[in-house]
Structure formats: structure tokens, C-alpha cells
């Protein structure tokens, strides 16, 4: 059964441009991919707890030495990683905050990007341990995004590559706070992108 993992990083619920872009993208996918299961994490509205000392200690400890307390400290991290492992597609809807990703999304990454679990460490560097799958990011910003000041897209591309997810694309919904015309232009671009994306996913999931 194909599964889409939707990570929603805006705290603004129904007012959020990125959330609304994700909702329309998911609706189109559902129309074309039978039995598509949606798993949703509202990271912005229901933030994950901050990473604490127990999680860090348990994560750095050799797996064989972990007892009940360490396994409990890792439980949420494990759950989030398994959600990623069983997904066929990851769709992230997020605002741009201060040139990068909001803390809510960064926090999720700190739970899933884990040494010896989602990436391996060697003298040659880091190697991803997850099977590749498409990661698509719908990113809303208030103004235009200058490539030199966009720290979100290169960061997300790199961090997903680190855990093995190299099939990455970010779609920018720019100038969301610059009036109706700008919003309408972004909406048109989104619709064009969605058509291609649905076709791509149909081929990939062989439906
Ligand atoms: C804390 C904060 C920081 C922001 N930083 C930026 C920024 O760096 N660049 C930008 O273009 N817009 C910035 N914005 C505007 C948001 O990206 C914009 O309102 C966007 O629509 C939010 O996404 P959402 O509608 O999905 O919640 C910021 C907004 C907030 C609240």
C-alpha cells in the first residue's frame, strides 16, 4: 500500500499557504493513486518535545548496551524513523523562517538524523542508511527568495542526502505577503508542478 508521509511545519493551520499547497497536492495524488495512505505530522501545530540529554546519551551509546531507560528515551525517534522507512513519498509543507527552516521542522530532523541508525560514520564521512524515496518540499515565503539568502533549500537537500534520500525537490511559493496577484501567480506555478508530480509518482508507484 503506497504511503505518503506529510510533515506540516507551519503553525498556522487553515491560514497557512504551505499547508494549503500540501492539501491540494495530496488531493490530486489521491485522485490518481488508489489506496494512497496518508500519515500526517502537524509539527508546527503540535510541536515535538525538544531533544533532551537522555535522547542524546542513548543515541550515542552502542545499541547492545542500551537498557529499558535508553530504549524509552529513543522511542519517539524510532517511531519517527519508522514512519519515514515505511513511506513511499515524503511531502513537507513549510514556511521559510529567517532564511531557513522553522524550528519545528529542524526538531523533527534532529530526531530522525541519527548516527548508526539513519546514517553510518566512517573515515570516508557519512553514508545514508535509508532506502531512497522522493522528498518534495512546498515552501512558503513572505517575500521573494534570493538564491544567495535561501539557506533552507540547500540545507534540506544536504540533510536528506545524508540519510540516503537523494531524490529531492523544493517548490517555492514566493511573495505570499505581497498581495493577491503574487499569491495567484504562485498558485498557477504550483498547479503546473502538481500535474508533473502526480505523473512522476504514478510511474514510480506503477499505478
Ligand atoms: C518568524 C518568521 C520569520 C519569517 N522569515 C521570513 C524570511 O526569512 N523570508 C521570507 O520571505 N518570509 C519570511 N517570513 C514570512 C513567512 O515565510 C510567510 O508568512 C509564509 O507564508 C509562512 O508560511 P505559512 O503561510 O505556510 O505559514 C517569516 C515569518 C515569520 C513568522
Q: What is the CATH number of the domain that holds 125?
A: 3.40.50.360
What does residue 136 show for φ and ψ, rounded to 5 degrees? -120, 135
Query: In this structure, is the dihedral angle defined by the CA atoms of residues 140, 143, 146 and 149, taken in order, positive or negative?
Result: negative
What is the CA(142)–ligand 1 centre distance, in A?
A: 5
| Residues lining ligand 1, Cβ inside 6 A | 10, 12, 16-19, 95-99, 140-143, 176-177
Q: What is the pLDDT of residue 138?
A: 98
For the chain, report the end-to-end CA distance as a whole number of angstroms.
Answer: 11
- Asked whether 138 and 37 are in contact (CB, 8 A), the reply is no
Residue nearest to atom 24 of ligand 1 (CA): 16
> 111: burial class by Cβ within 10 Å (0-12, 13-18, 19+)?
buried
CB 202, CB 33: distance < 8 Å: yes
Identify the residue whose C-alpha is closest to ligand 1 atom 23.
Answer: 95
Look at residues 120, 121, 107 and name the one whose alpha carbon lies nearest to residue 76: 107
Range of the domain at 113: 3-204
* Domain count across the chain: 1
Residue with CA at minimum distance from ligand 1 atom 1: 97
- Do the beta carbons of residue 162 and residue 129 sit within 8 Å? no
What are the per-10-residue average pLDDT scores of the chain (207 residues)? 97 98 98 96 98 97 97 98 98 98 98 97 94 98 97 98 98 97 97 98 91
Measuring from atom 27 of ligand 1, which residue has the nearest CA? 16
State the pLDDT at residue 206.
85
Rounded to the nearest whole angstrom, what is the distance from the C-alpha of residue 93 to the centroid of ligand 1?
12
| CA 100–ligand 1 middle distance (angstroms) | 10
Amino acid at each position: 500500500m503506497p504511503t505518503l508521509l506529510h510533515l506540516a511545519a507551519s503553525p498556522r493551520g487553515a491560514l497557512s499557504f504551505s499547508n494549503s499547497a500540501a492539501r491540494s497536492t495530496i488531493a490530486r495524488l489521491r485522485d490518481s493513486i488508489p489506496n494512497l495512505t496518508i500519515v500526517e505530522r502537524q509539527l508546527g501545530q503540535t510541536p515535538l518535545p525538544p531533544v533532551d540529554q537522555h535522547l542524546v546519551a542513548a543515541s550515542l551509546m552502542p545499541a547492545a548496551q542500551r537498557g529499558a531507560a535508553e530504549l524509552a528515551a529513543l522511542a519517539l525517534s524510532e517511531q519517527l524513523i519508522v514512519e519515514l522507512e515505511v513511506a513511499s513519498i515524503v511531502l513537507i509543507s513549510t514556511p521559510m523562517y529567517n532564511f531557513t527552516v522553522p524550528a519545528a521542522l529542524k526538531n523533527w530532523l534532529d530526531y530522525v538524523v541519527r548516527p548508526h541508525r539513519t546514517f553510518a560514520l566512517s573515515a570516508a564521512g557519512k553514508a545514508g542508511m535509508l532506502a531512497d524515496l522522493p522528498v518534495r518540499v512546498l515552501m512558503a515565503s513572505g517575500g521573494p527568495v534570493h538564491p544567495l539568502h535561501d539557506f533552507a533549500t540547500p540545507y534540506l537537500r544536504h540533510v536528506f542526502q545524508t540519510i540516503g534520500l537523494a531524490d529531492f525537490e523544493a517548490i517555492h511559493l514566493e511573495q505570499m505577503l505581497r498581495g493577491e496577484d503574487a499569491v495567484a501567480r504562485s498558485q498557477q506555478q504550483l498547479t503546473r508542478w502538481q500535474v508533473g508530480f502526480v505523473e512522476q509518482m504514478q510511474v514510480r508507484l506503477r499505478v
